[in-house]
Amino acid sequence: MNETSNDSGNPVLTFEGKKYLINELSKDIKESIKGLQIAETQLKMHEDTLKLLSISRNSLANQLREKLKNLD
């Protein structure tokens, strides 16, 4: 799902290979588009959170490895 503007300033939704003028869509459809945008934003935010957690876990594992190495 992509959203762009055309020359007249009317945003265009590209969905599954078709283009739709957003201002000409029903309120119900516009609400569905907004819901998809929110879901996409939330997915990206959680993907970023998972990446940070993974980096933190790796860093902690490396710290533990170094501390345990000193015991040998």
What residue spans define the domains of the chain?
2-69
Please give the residue that has the higher pLDDT: either 72 or 70.
Answer: 70
Q: How many CB atoms lie within 10 A of CB 49?
A: 10
pTM: 0.70
Mean pLDDT of 9-15: 91
pLDDT at residue 10 is higher than 70: yes
C-alpha distances in angstroms, 46 versus 3, 43, 51, 53?
22, 5, 9, 10
* Beta-bridge partners for 18: 15
Tell me: the pLDDT tens digits for 39-51? 999 999 999 999 9
% of residues, the chain, pLDDT over 70: 92
| Six token digits for residue 68 | 């345990």
Q: Distance between the two ends of the chain, CA-based, in angstroms?
A: 56
